[in-house]
Amino acid sequence: MSLIEYAANGVVYSSIIVLGSIGLSLIYSIAGFANFAHGDTLTVGAYAALVSFGVVGGVGFSVLGLPMGFFLALLVGIAVAAVVAIVTEKLVYEPLDIGSIGLLITSIGVAFVYRALIQMGFGADAIRYDVGAVRPIEALLPYGIRLTQHDVAIVISAAVLVTGLHVLLQHTDLGRKMRAMADNPDLARASGIRTYRIKLWSWIIGAGLAGAGGVFLGLFNQLLPRMGFNLLLVIFAAVILGGIGSVYGAMLGGFLIGMVVQLTPILSDVGIPIGIEYANAVAFLIMVAVLLVRPTGIAGEAVGGEGV
């Protein structure tokens, strides 16, 4: 395979990582802890879309090889992931009276509960969305790029969602409040922002985007109860590379880490003996290196002692 083909795959994979990392970064900065259940929120979204797609089926006309019913299922996946996150926040995190480390440990428990319930409902075997297989787009083949219409749909949908988030953050009241709170929660509260409400909104937005990421991951590969947990560390690597607390940093970090993971095979092509099986390991090592050299990441600002 050529560099350009790896890069094309990288763009698709990056779109998924970006969707996951925005939510993780948002929750890290606004709710104040590293949410280890975020990966399994992706899984929740993916399986919710599976169920709803099974109900609505292939209704409507087809766009990019996907029936309208699939986009409906995508919305359901986003909504269910957001609702599950809100319920978890109300039921589990809110009554807790422990620091961020305690919340981190609790979120591992939450991750296990999500995964266990999904595995009980759907079994441990891989499932695919019933959208039919598509061939690579003919027009791109002469350039050495093998992309399916589904891949294009993933990239475009992710771009739409990310643009929507950008508009929300920059041009709405809610977005300004969220940025203020991510920057300095105490100051935000002192300025009269209802921080609790903003926190709930960031759970909704973060988990919703994660749900969308999960649906696309299921479309890109397949659905597995472990799919989200396996991706969690890659998403963490992206968030840390981009700089915790910065949504735009998370987008950049997600893009870079996604590309690194998909471009790892290049290394053995040029003679460095690191095979594709170490793709994730490369991402984790980058993460550790970033933590050492520049813990604030690419887009991070001042070095904060406590909280970000």
Interaction site with another protein (CB under 8 A):
33-34, 92, 95-96, 98, 100-102, 104-106, 108-113, 115-117, 119-120, 124, 225, 233, 236-237, 240, 275, 277-278, 280-281, 284-285, 287-288, 291-292, 295
Q: Considering the complex, what minimum distance in angstroms separates the CB of residue 63 from another protein? A: 36
Helix (H, G, I), strand (E, B) or coil at 193: coil
Cβ proximity to another protein, 145 vs 274, nearer residue: 274
Q: Considering the complex, what minimum distance in angstroms separates the CB of residue 89 from another protein? A: 13
Q: State the burial class of residue 55 (Cβ atoms within 10 Å of its Cβ: 0-12, 13-18, 19+).
A: exposed
User: Which residue(s) pair with 67 in the sheet?
Assistant: 62
How many Cα atoms sit within 13 Å of 33 on the Cβ side? 19
Cβ proximity to another protein, 157 vs 246, nearer residue: 246
Q: State the burial class of residue 8 (Cβ atoms within 10 Å of its Cβ: 0-12, 13-18, 19+).
A: buried
Cβ proximity to another protein, 13 vs 229, nearer residue: 229
Q: Considering the complex, what minimum distance in angstroms separates the CB of residue 67 from another protein? A: 31
Q: 174 to each of 202, 203, 214, how far by Cα in Å? A: 10, 13, 25
Cβ proximity to another protein, 14 vs 35, nearer residue: 35
Q: Considering the complex, what minimum distance in angstroms separates the CB of residue 284 from another protein? A: 3
Cβ proximity to another protein, 115 vs 199, nearer residue: 115
Residues 155/15, Cβ–Cβ less than 8 Å: yes
Buried b (16+ CB within 10 A) or exposed e, 238-263: bbbbbbbbbbbbbbbbbbbbbbbbbb
Residues 228/112, Cβ–Cβ less than 8 Å: no
Q: Considering the complex, what minimum distance in angstroms separates the CB of residue 256 from another protein? A: 16
Helix (H, G, I), strand (E, B) or coil at 278: helix
Cβ proximity to another protein, 113 vs 266, nearer residue: 113
Q: Considering the complex, what minimum distance in angstroms separates the CB of residue 202 from another protein? A: 18
